[in-house]
A and B are shown apart, each in its own frame.
Chain A
Amino acid sequence: MAVAPRSATGPAAFKRRGRFRPGDTVLYVITLAAALSGLVLLVLIARELLTAAWPAMDRFGLDFLTTKAWDPNKKLFGAASFIFGTAVTSIGALLLATPISIAIALFLTELAPRGVRGAVGVLVDMLAAIPSVVLGLWGILVLGPFIVNTLAPALHGTLGFLPIFSTKPSVGSNVFAAILILTIMIVPIISSICRELFLGVPQELKDGALALGATRWEVARGVTFPYARAGIAAALILGLGRAVGEAIAVSQVIGNNVAIHWSLFDAGDTLASRIAGQYIGADTKLQINSLVYLAVILLVFSLVVNVLAQIIVRRVAGRHSAA
């Protein structure tokens, strides 16, 4: 870097050459390039996937979304049964996980004695750290048999009149197992976000309700939940997104069957799981293109889900800091 010569004193010595020093420019350019990588990757992902899926998209069009078959021999591929499977497993997992996660978050922020909070919080977070393939392994070898031998007969015996429990499984690989596994995966996600939200409710609001003679549950119901409403919605959306995108564990336990059944004890398949399961066996170009088409559907969904959740999160943060 050029420095003004020592002999020069006075204002002239302060004159700078150009707006940036070269070092600054170099740092700026390098870091900007790095930072753009996120954006570039997003664009690249969209482009590459669309390009690779195009032959299948061109051939099947939007009918792909309503075609139930997936037949490599007949060269007929469709996403309908996987969309159905994805919907059933994710929504099922969300229905189970929501009350459990919110209850855990309440427990950790209001009810548990201080000493216990840290330990229990860590344990719940560790649930999130279990790799999905390990959970899937456990699902196949431990949960599956348990469902076949104990859980399913019990549910089928008592609630068999309901369409969702109307068959009896012979193997442990079914939609029900997938729902349980997904629930285990998304509970820590939703509960940790809710925990932060509940901690962020101003104490003075809770004091106001307590001073009116409200019980702790009434404070939660009347003050905490409404205050955290938007954040809870974002948490649920993120949990849903996670459930939709989970491929490995689901493919291990769901049975990989192309069909639309009403009973949860039948096998099925989801978008993500079909991609994972079929890839190794896929030989024709059309099959691969169709698999990428499935990935495109997944991508669109996850983009919508994520952008939605991020918008909610940013809007809530703005509102609460302004209030």
Chain B
Amino acid sequence: MSISVQEPPEPRSTEEDRPRAGLPSAFDPSKLGASAPASTVAREPVFNIENLSAYYGAVPAVREVTFDIHRRMVTAIIGPSGCGKSTFIRCLNRMNDGIPGFRTEGRILYHDVDLQGSNIDAVSVRRRIGMVFQRPNPFPKSIFENVAYGLRILGLKDDLSGRVEEALKRAALWEEVKDRLKRSALSLSGGQQQRLCIARCLAIEPEVILMDEPASALDPIATTRIEDLMHELKRDYTIVVVTHNMQQAARVADLTAFFSIEQGEEGHRAGVLVEYDDTSTIFTQPKDKRTEDYVTGRFG
């Protein structure tokens, strides 16, 4: 399956991967954390986003976004502030529903089902498409109860402790908390709380994990642990991560979508998808000048 973008990319051979003149060495492809060039791994779309536009009342936030998100890969969404990255990702699990005046045009197909169809239940959508937020938001309950919350709602009460343990292990938190599961979640450090939120999300076994700047409120060491976690998790889950940190995208993502702000015909500035490609391509041989300007730091 090809990635849908402005034009299909030419297949490249790795020998010709050279940094363009003028790009800082930070984007040396040999330093990229992404695994084998994404073009060699079989792709399978999970989301097909078709001409998605989102509006808060009359003001557009994103305009005519079209691309696919692929299974068991990390897709990063980068771009300057205000380009609608958060709005976009929240559309994927219908979290914008509660905002008065919010509406969308276009389609979000999840396994060929339009998520915004009138017969789709947002509650069920969120069961399968989980989310981790920018600031860790554990419930003021015990560590165990935080992870068990989703399980209890779903009635998955058989082997509750087993499932909780499994989720905490997958979130790389089990060793640190296994002796204090009954303690309050608020007694954990910021990084631990965020991993707890990830465990809470993993417990109900979603297919997709959406992450809205998951490490921006954390210190560098905690950030590294979250990024390592993303590498592990992508073996089993599809991950979409919004980040304002380009190096982070370069480190963790297989595919990167670059959003930017454009003035539309009606005069409003809104986010648009500029380029979507393998991470290495975005950072070393971007096809669009706007992308190149952004990743080389000339603006944004």
Contacts and interface: CB of A to CB of B under 8 A. Distances in A.
Contact of B186 (A114, A215, A323): A323
A208 interface: yes
A102 to B, nearest CB: 19
Contacts of A283: none
B255 to A, nearest CB: 23
Most interface-central of A205, A212, A223, A323 (chain B CB within 10 A): A212
Interface string B223-261: 000000000000000000000000000000000000000
Interface in A202-228: 202, 204-205, 207-215, 218, 222-223, 226-227
Interface in B133-164: 133, 135, 137-141, 149-150, 153-154
A114 B131 CA distance: 27
Contact of B140 (A212, A213, A214, A226): A226
Contacts of A215: 123
Contacts of B103: none
B100 A212 contact: no
Contacts of B123: 213-215
B95 A212 contact: no
A218 B153 contact: yes
B95 A208 contact: no
A213 B152 CA distance: 12
B140 A323 contact: yes
Contact of B93 (A211, A218, A226): A211
Nearest to B184: A323
A192 to B, nearest CB: 23
Contacts of B154: 213
Contacts of B204: 212-213
A208 B124 contact: no
A255 to B, nearest CB: 47
A206 B186 CA distance: 16
B191 interface: no
B214 interface: no
B135 A212 contact: no
Contacts of A204: 133, 135, 137
B61 to A, nearest CB: 18
A207 B133 contact: yes
B124 A213 contact: yes
A226 B130 contact: no
B227 to A, nearest CB: 21
Most interface-central of A207, A211, A222 (chain B CB within 10 A): A211
B130 A223 contact: no
A208 B133 contact: yes
Interface string A159-189: 0000000000000000000000000000000
Contacts of B201: 211-212
B21 to A, nearest CB: 44
B153 A205 contact: no
B126 A212 contact: yes
Given A114-B100, A208-B197, A213 B138 contact: no
Contacts of A227: 140
A283 B175 CA distance: 78
Given A211-B93, A222-B139, 18 more contacts: A205-B137, A205-B139, A205-B140, A207-B95, A207-B133, A207-B137, A208-B137, A211-B130, A211-B131, A212-B130, A212-B153, A212-B200, A213-B124, A213-B150, A213-B154, A214-B153, A226-B140, A226-B141
14 contacts: A202-B137, A204-B135, A205-B139, A207-B133, A208-B200, A209-B139, A210-B95, A211-B126, A213-B124, A213-B125, A214-B150, A215-B123, A222-B153, A323-B140
Interface of B: 93, 95, 98, 100, 123-127, 130-131, 133, 135, 137-141, 149-150, 153-154, 186, 197, 200-201, 204
